[in-house]
A and B are shown apart, each in its own frame.
Chain A
């Protein structure tokens, strides 16, 4: 590829798209924190935050401002470089995952097609998994660099949880790949538009994937890294101010991105169910915006389920978490994979 092949228009398109997706991730994550507190209030029969702005909609800004103005403490015994690297890594990894997700139907104009996706590589979903597997380092490096035994133990607890639940997650994914026959995210969505949503054919796979996503995002019932009342907080015990904010915020971004991945893999991505919206003859921009809105509706629903679970279920003990992961999730995921393979073989022959 030569420099000449990269036109200004191409660069501009990608830069705008990346900026928009990062902005979207921040915006959704901000308002997920508010939604979390509002839903908690609703479930516990109280008002929730309602002082900052009408219905409390400025609350996330107030929270962010508070975190920025808090005193920043870097422990003298900590490893300064790695202490700063930890939250940065957590944030970078959380933002990188969204590159391969198709955010809406491509805009087909007379001058060309604009994909609402930063890049549509052959490896698609595997890129997401590789980034997730690297996500452990933000936790481990931060926990170790704090030079606090509790932080280190919590970091190892969190990291082993993430590593354990990656396995059933990828096993549940394999069953999807059997059906779609491609790792490309755009083709997985197209397959679902033509053949129906994957959740219909893979209900067990979706359940397993969803539970693993809860564990990967450190959400209840798997939020051991944040159990401040019984496990003395987590890997971010020594962090204060916006560095703590980065860790917590990265988790909300992870929640958003994993909801988007699940919506794309199992819930048809940007597809509107039961109708053939491509035949409506909408103008391309309206059509793409509509499909983007549909994807965001699915993501919002999944985020609500995340929050709903948090305020309903108590957290697991550590041995229960490991037993569930290794002795129940992995055999179930293997069973699901073999069953799907057998049925697909039988249907094809």
Chain B
């Protein structure tokens, strides 16, 4: 067994375990912290695929920025067991049904993909390096890239407008 395989198994187990802990934790702050662990495990997978840029950006954006905002909100709301609203039985049932339906859709979508021929290249692919990625983004995909940046800008302006006191 090579080191890449060993790392793959360690990272997969970490990712799955922490993802389960996100869902099963009673304390929302614990859930956020487990979600951060999940992001780190996924970044590890990106590094195994030699997608270094994606790995680092995943940590900067998701683990470093978005989860901080999550923590802000959850810490300030002071959620705990006493203030947690009691859930109806049928609500839990509906949740289980809709979650199961999503799982079914995902599994059936994945069933027909050509997983065998699309197998990822461990360590040796160059597609995820910043040079390749930058060239692709600014030549082949320049229009979608610019469009999405306009989308971000409008979201930012909207956030400033909402946050502004008049």
Contact = CB atoms under 8 A, between A and B. Distances in A.
Contact of B72 (A2, A123, A159): A159
Contacts of A122: 52, 129-130
A129 B60 CA distance: 7
Contacts of A159: 68, 72
B33 interface: yes
Interface in B26-62: 29, 33, 36, 52-53, 55-57, 59-60
B94 interface: no
Interface string A146-182: 0000001001100110010000000000000000000
B29 A144 contact: yes
A111 B84 CA distance: 65
Main secondary structure of the interface of A (DSSP, over half): helix
Nearest to A144: B75
Given A133-B60, A159-B68, A141 B2 contact: no
Interface residues of B, number: 24
B43 to A, nearest CB: 9
A15 interface: no
B53 A123 contact: yes
B151 interface: no
Given A3-B2, A123-B52, A140-B75, A130 B64 contact: yes
A14 to B, nearest CB: 14
A1 B59 CA distance: 24
Interface in B70-100: 71-72, 75-76
Nearest to B6: A3
B63 interface: yes
Contacts of B33: 82, 137, 141
Nearest to B122: A1
A163 B123 contact: no
A47 interface: no
B150 interface: no
A140 B130 contact: no
B65 interface: yes
Interface centre among B2, B55, B65, B75 (most CB of A within 10 A): B75
A146 B9 CA distance: 36
A156 B76 contact: yes
Contacts, number: 67
B3 interface: yes
Main secondary structure of the interface of B (DSSP, over half): helix
A6 interface: yes
B24 interface: no
Contacts of B68: 136-137, 140, 159, 163
Contacts of A24: none
B2 A126 contact: no
Contacts of B129: 122
A67 interface: no
Contact of A156 (B3, B57, B75): B75
A130 B52 contact: no
B100 to A, nearest CB: 33
Contacts of B63: 130, 133-134
Contacts of A6: 3
Interface in A293-337: none
B145 to A, nearest CB: 16
Interface in A1-47: 1-3, 6
22 contacts: A1-B4, A2-B2, A82-B29, A122-B129, A122-B130, A123-B52, A123-B56, A126-B53, A126-B57, A129-B60, A130-B56, A130-B60, A133-B59, A133-B63, A133-B65, A137-B71, A140-B75, A144-B71, A156-B72, A156-B76, A159-B68, A163-B65
Listed from nearest, the 9 A-B pairs whose CB atoms lie closest are A133-B64, A130-B59, A126-B56, A130-B60, A144-B75, A2-B2, A123-B52, A1-B3, A123-B56
